[in-house]
Amino acid sequence: MYKKYLKTDIIKRPLYFERMLPFISKDVIKVLVGQRRVGKSFILYQLIEHIASENSGANIVYLNKELPDFNSIKSDSDLLEFVKKFEKQTNNFLFLDEVQEIDNYPSALRALLAEGKWDIWCTGSNASFLSADISGSLSGRHIEFEINPLNYTEFIEFHSMVHSAESIQLFLKYGGLPYLRKLPLTDEIVFEYLKNIYNTILYKDVIARHNIRNNRFVEDLVVYLADNTGSIVSAKKISEYLKNQRINISPVRVIEYLNHLTKSYFVTKVNRSDLRGKRIFEFGEKYYFRDIGLRNSILGFKPADINKILENVVLNHLKSYGYDCYTGDYTGREIDFVFEKNQKKIYVQVTYLLASPDVIQREFGNLKLIDDNYPKFVISMDELQFDNDQGIQHIRLKDFLTLKF
């Protein structure tokens, strides 16, 4: 029954697919999470195709709550009734797209998992459904795969482009939502599409899901984050800013709404850490956008914002390779990013151009303070490749975006 729902124009994303292959037929629920329209469904299609080709007897059942064919499935009992109609003795595979739209779905997943007859894969567009629902009732019985927008190498593949200054410019402006490959890459068309995605995320995954009544505040909060991308912010500072806009919101409520935006995979919160004391600062985190195109659709693609955009793109690139991130503070000197994965670290400074001795001293000097042997990079859009300085490597953005980590 799944075949009529599959797409024929699938472009594979091995960056994620290869992480998932070892978990096929394992007795855990596999959950693909990420922002709307980042391609979670297409990765499910890729998995379905792979299983069908490798296992001729596979009984594959697919359900997508965004399709009208499945409108009647509203609750856990509806889901169980639907699945049982197709169940065989063995070799059953269940794929559930946007499962959070089904009331009390963890109860159904728990029952199916207990039977041991189904290999279960799910997608969801809000981290709240995972943390509050699956993690709470199925602790230790699930694994999460975070799906991100296209990174640059995926972007040029999806758009059949060659690596060039023009393709980088398009990526920095329009971002990495996969559907853009079907649209003419013009500001009028792309930003209209991105604004619609932004509205869907904001109103469905944030405002409606959390029963927020003050829509204006959430909209203004997103504009504030777009204008302050990569800057240290605090709930108190945002609250004071909004008071100047005649919006009276307490810092506690600001924190609550920031968490909603983070859990919808719309923005990424980057905490600050004291690199000497190795403690996380309680206040003053930074926020970046999961997709830079969505950020630009809110405020436009302006030359004055180039440093913010570059930081955001560098962050997203390493996030696509599974790195966690925080921003570092070393005796009052800021390190833009500290990336960690599998007990490895990468220190990164990002700047538009190394255009003066002062800029060079700031970007390289901050990294020189750190006396460990982990890689340290300064990334910029300079055409000239600077030599290493005390082991700190300069990488041009056009080279960095093609690196695999």
Sorted by where each starts, the structural domains of the chain and their CATH numbers stand as 3-146 (3.40.50.300), 152-400 (1.10.10.10)
124 pLDDT above the threshold of 90: no
In this prediction, residues 128-154 reach a mean pLDDT of 78
Contact 62, 1 (CB under 8 A): yes
- Token pair in block for residue 179: 């559907």
Q: What is the model's pTM?
A: 0.93
User: In Å, how far from its chain's centre is CA 340?
Assistant: 16
pLDDT at res. 122: 93
Strand (E) or helix (H) holding 328 = strand 324-330
pLDDT at res. 249: 86
What Cα–Cα distance (Å) separates residue 354 from each residue in 309, 381, 384? Answer: 16, 8, 10
pLDDT at res. 239: 86
Residues 6+ apart with CB under 8 A from 71: none
Contact 153, 401 (CB under 8 A): yes
- Percent of the residues in the chain that have a pLDDT greater than 90, as a whole number: 78
In this prediction, residues 358-373 reach a mean pLDDT of 94
In this prediction, residues 364-381 reach a mean pLDDT of 95
In this prediction, residues 311-325 reach a mean pLDDT of 97
Question: How is the beta sheet containing 333-341 ordered, strand by strand?
Answer: 279-280, 272-274, 324-330, 333-341, 344-350, 376-380, 393-396
Pick the closest to residue 269 from 291, 290, 286 (CA basis).
Answer: 286
Confidence of residue 132 (pLDDT cuts 50, 70, 90): low
pLDDT at res. 6: 79
pLDDT at res. 247: 79
Contact 352, 381 (CB under 8 A): yes
In this prediction, residues 168-193 reach a mean pLDDT of 98
- Which position has the higher pLDDT, 151 or 137? 151
Condensed to tens digits (0 to 9), the pLDDT of residues 61-95 reads 999 998 999 999 999 999 999 999 999 999 999 99
Please state which of the ranges 172-176, 211-215, 273-277, 310-314 shows the lowest mean pLDDT.
273-277
278 pLDDT above the threshold of 70: no
- Token pair in block for residue 214: 């003050």
Pick the closest to residue 26 from 146, 112, 143, 135 (CA basis).
Answer: 143
* Helix (DSSP H) and strand (DSSP E) numbers for the chain: 16, 14
Confidence of residue 209 (pLDDT cuts 50, 70, 90): confident
- Which of the 8 DSSP states describes residue 396? E
What Cα–Cα distance (Å) separates residue 331 from each residue in 252, 339, 359, 362? Answer: 29, 19, 19, 14
For residues 233 and 288, give the distance between their C-alpha atoms in angstroms, rounded to a whole number: 11
Mean pLDDT of the chain: 92
State the angle between helix axes of 306-320 and 165-174 in degrees (0 to 180), rounded to the nearest 10: 90
Q: How many CB atoms lie within 10 A of CB 88?
A: 11
For residues 3 and 45, give the distance between their C-alpha atoms in angstroms, rounded to a whole number: 10
pLDDT at res. 234: 87
Confidence of residue 284 (pLDDT cuts 50, 70, 90): confident
Please state which of the ranges 9-18, 113-122, 125-134 shows the lowest mean pLDDT.
125-134
Q: Distance between terminal CA atoms of the chain?
A: 39
In this prediction, residues 47-71 reach a mean pLDDT of 95
User: In Å, how far from its chain's centre is CA 18?
Assistant: 18
Confidence of residue 299 (pLDDT cuts 50, 70, 90): very high
